[in-house]
Structure formats: structure tokens, C-alpha cells
């Protein structure tokens, strides 16, 4: 009896693992890899002559890729974690539960993105790129991870609320685009600067940089808690995939 249960559990986990890999869409992952490879090639071209002005442009480009670019990719990926899943009923019937499955997919997506951003950082370090006045491990991690987490939660929350993965991704993109376009108005005020996602791109030496990261992390945590409450209602999830 115990052997039967053990075999059944492993068979279920194996099927879910293959299912998750299919949901993550390998072709999309290849496009993300191609994007980072292209960004690395652009960075190499920018810094090719080694002039100070070229390195300055390279610094700005690298900050954009690590902060805004990675966050936007994470948002697009997060918007498709659940909404639009045609086999959601099977997942809801699983012993693991939808919240566990969502966390598993999110962790896999973030790990994949983390590997790519780490590779880009190593490549940029070889090209003598600096992101902040103090490129410590915690600063570099917060530069990328906090915007990634926030836009992921915005996209996921938007997808659940609108019942559309496309609209969730668009919402995350709009938040970032509006902030980039309105940067001159946002950065003149300290209070609004606390909610400015690409702060490292324009103010890497800002005295409120750490406060900005904490505020953005708090906003992401609030949205994540809301998403968890939403996920408890299976009827809403089924409606989002109707």
C-alpha cells in the first residue's frame, strides 16, 4: 500500500513537472535569452573604444537592462503564470494547491531570469561597467530584484483582476513607461521619488536610494498578499480561464 502511494506521488510530481515546463513556453525563454545576448552585444559595441563617454553610456545602458529591462521581462512572464492556463482544473484538483504551484512557477521563472542577469552582470564587469558608486552585492541584488518582484506582482495582479494575461503584462509595461516619460516631474519631489522604479538609472547616488528600494518592496508585498487572497477563491480562477 505504501509503495503504491509512493509511486503515485512521484508519478503525479513528474507529470506536474513536465506540465510546468510546457506552460513556461520554451520558445519564449529562448527569446529572453536572445534579448540578453543582444543586450550584451550592444553593450560591447558601446564600450568598444574605451573612452570615458562611451563607458558612461555603457553604465546607463547596463542600469536600464538590469533594472527596467529585467523587471519588464519578469512582469510579462508573471502575467502568464496562471491566467490563460487551459488545464487549470487539473491543477486545482492537485494535492499541492494552486498557491504552491504558482510559487513554484514564479521561482523557476525568477531563477531563470536571475541566471541571465548574473551572466549579463559578469559580462558588464569584464567591460568595466559600474552600476552604483558602491557596487556591493546587496546593492546590485536590490537594483535588479526589487523592480523584478514589484512588476511581477503588478502584472500578476492585473492579470487576475482583468482575467487577461495580455492586460496584466500591458499594465506592468504602462507603469514603467509612464514613470520613464514622467521622470522629470517625479524626480523633483522626494515623496514621489520613493515610488520611482528606475531610480538607479537616473539617480544611482540618490540619498533616498535605500528608502526607494524598501518602499517598492513594500508595494510589491502588498500586491502579493492581495494576489494570495484572490487565489484562495477557486471560482474566480476558473472564471479567469473561461
Ordered mean pLDDT values, 10 residues apiece, the chain (242 residues): 46 61 66 88 88 86 91 86 56 58 77 89 88 80 92 90 84 93 90 92 89 95 89 58 49
Question: Distance between CA 184 and CA 181 in Å, rounded?
Answer: 8
Query: Could you tell me which residues come within 8 angstroms of residue 9 by beta carbon, excluding any fewer than 6 positions away?
Result: none
Question: Distance between CA 93 and CA 139 in Å, rounded?
Answer: 42
Output the pTM of the full model: 0.82
Query: How many other C-beta atoms are found inside a 10 Å radius of the C-beta of residue 201?
Result: 22
Q: Burial of 204 by CB count in 10 Å (0-12 exposed, 13-18 middle, 19+ buried)?
A: buried
CA angle 29/80/178 to nearest 5° reads 95
pLDDT the model gives residue 53: 86
pLDDT the model gives residue 153: 93
Amino acid at each position: 500500500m505504501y509503495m503504491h502511494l509512493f509511486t503515485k506521488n512521484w508519478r503525479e510530481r513528474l507529470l506536474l513537472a513536465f506540465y510546468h515546463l510546457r506552460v513556461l513556453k520554451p520558445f519564449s525563454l529562448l527569446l529572453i535569452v536572445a534579448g540578453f545576448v543582444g543586450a550584451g552585444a550592444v553593450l560591447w559595441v558601446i564600450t568598444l573604444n574605451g573612452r570615458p563617454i562611451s563607458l558612461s553610456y555603457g553604465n546607463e545602458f547596463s542600469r536600464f537592462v538590469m533594472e527596467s529591462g529585467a523587471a519588464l521581462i519578469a512582469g510579462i512572464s508573471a502575467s502568464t503564470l496562471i491566467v490563460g492556463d487551459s488545464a487549470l482544473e487539473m491543477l486545482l484538483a492537485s494535492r499541492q494547491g494552486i498557491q504552491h504551484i504558482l510559487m513554484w512557477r514564479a521561482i523557476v521563472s525568477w531563477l531563470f531570469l536571475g541566471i541571465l542577469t548574473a551572466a549579463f552582470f559578469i559580462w558588464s564587469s569584464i567591460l568595466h561597467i559600474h552600476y552604483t558608486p558602491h557596487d556591493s552585492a546587496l546593492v546590485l541584488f536590490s537594483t535588479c530584484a526589487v523592480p523584478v518582484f514589484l512588476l511581477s506582482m503588478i502584472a500578476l495582479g492585473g492579470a487576475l483582476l482583468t482575467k487577461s494575461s495580455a492586460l496584466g503584462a500591458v499594465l506592468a509595461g504602462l507603469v514603467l513607461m509612464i514613470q520613464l516619460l514622467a521622470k522629470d516631474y517625479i524626480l523633483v519631489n522626494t515623496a514621489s521619488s520613493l515610488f520611482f522604479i528606475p531610480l538607479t538609472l537616473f539617480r544611482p547616488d540618490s540619498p533616498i536610494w535605500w528608502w526607494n528600494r524598501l518602499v517598492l518592496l513594500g508595494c510589491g508585498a502588498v500586491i502579493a498578499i492581495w494576489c494570495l487572497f484572490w487565489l484562495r477563491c477557486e471560482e474566480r480562477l476558473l472564471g479567469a480561464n473561461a
